[in-house]
Amino acid sequence: MELISENRCFGGSHRRYRHFSKANQCEMVFAIYLPPQALVGEKVPVLYWLSGLTCTDENFATKAGAQRYAAKHSVALVMPDTSPRGENVANDERYNLGQGAGFYVNATSEPWASHYQMYDYVVNELPVLIEQHFPVNNMKSIAGHSMGGHGALQIALKNPERYRSVSAFAPIVNPSQTPWGQTAFHAYLGENPKEWANYDSTELLRQVSHAIPIRIDQGLSDDFYPVELQPEKFIEIAEQKGFFLAYFMHAGYDHSYYFVSSFIGEHIAFHAQYLK
């Protein structure tokens, strides 16, 4: 791994790294925030954060103010990029497809399949790297915003043994039925509806018999609600199946990091209770 930058932050250390990803067959960048406890040898749990469309690892790191709360609760934050990148990596002029828009799936259609294996990267490759090189234990939770909320929920539903809890801000919970998701799934996964359902959190929730604790926050002044964002569909199924889901609607809040920064402290506290 190549260290790109390191900054002291709330007594801990925020670092960015570059490394070659076997899953994505290109160089990837991720950030990690190590709270003060990790710097003196204590192994801490990890919250993985997945960002939304057009973002890199830096949007959340610089705008959400999450490091303050991670330091308070002794939790490391891991923030991967949202897609593979590079001159040889397929791309598209649309903001909701290609670089910056990996949708946390394993693409099966070309030209995307050669590099866009973000599901394997987040679930398998990156945690191994983190646990080998940093003072963390094997306790993990996962969270995200918008496209990243979609990623966090579908990953958690398919891997309940790997994560202790999951949360999302304004998640795309039903991507196979919304314009953003349909654009991405058609390109990355082809025409097979079974492939689409395997990455659709609402469809996955119908199939599972067990779900880890879930929290979802939705701003009611979000320009993408309720066309792209349909949390009520997901919540209805969770309630029918008796799963624990805390849902909060916020009048006046939009889709931006002003919204995320307003409630990220509550999300990290939510995860901390399950990580210890």
**pLDDT more than 70, % of the chain:** 100
What one-letter code names the amino acid at 169?
Answer: F
Reported pTM: 0.98
- What is the distance between the alpha carbons of residues 134 and 117, in angstroms, rounded to a whole number? 24
Please give the distance of CA 189 from its chain centroid, rounded to a whole number.
20
Active site annotation includes 223: no
What is the band of 220 on the pLDDT scale with cuts at 50, 70, 90?
very high
Distance of CA 152 to CAs 35, 51, 123, Å?
Answer: 22, 9, 10
Task: Give yes or no for a contact between 267 and 215, defined as CB atoms under 8 angstroms apart.
Answer: yes
Task: Residue 75: name the closest of 122, 42, 31, 124 by CA.
Answer: 42
| Average per-residue pLDDT for the chain | 97
Catalytic residue among 51, 141, 146, 176: 146
Active site annotation includes 81: no
Active site annotation includes 255: yes
CB 165: neighbour CB atoms within 10 A? Answer: 22
- Give the pLDDT confidence of 105-144 residue by residue, as tens digits: 999 999 999 999 999 999 999 999 999 999 999 999 999 9
Q: Which residues pair with 30 in a beta bridge?
A: 17, 80
- Give the pLDDT confidence of 54-103 residue by residue, as tens digits: 999 999 999 999 999 999 999 999 999 999 999 999 999 999 999 999 99
- Domain map (residue ranges) of the chain: 2-274
Q: Which pLDDT does position 267 carry in this prediction? A: 98
53 has a pLDDT exceeding 90? yes
Task: Residue 130: name the closest of 76, 67, 199, 188 by CA.
Answer: 76
Q: Which pLDDT does position 193 carry in this prediction? A: 85
- What is the distance between the alpha carbons of residues 186 and 260, in angstroms, rounded to a whole number? 29
The domain defined by 2-274 folds into Rossmann fold (3.40.50)
Catalytic residue among 115, 217, 222, 271: 222
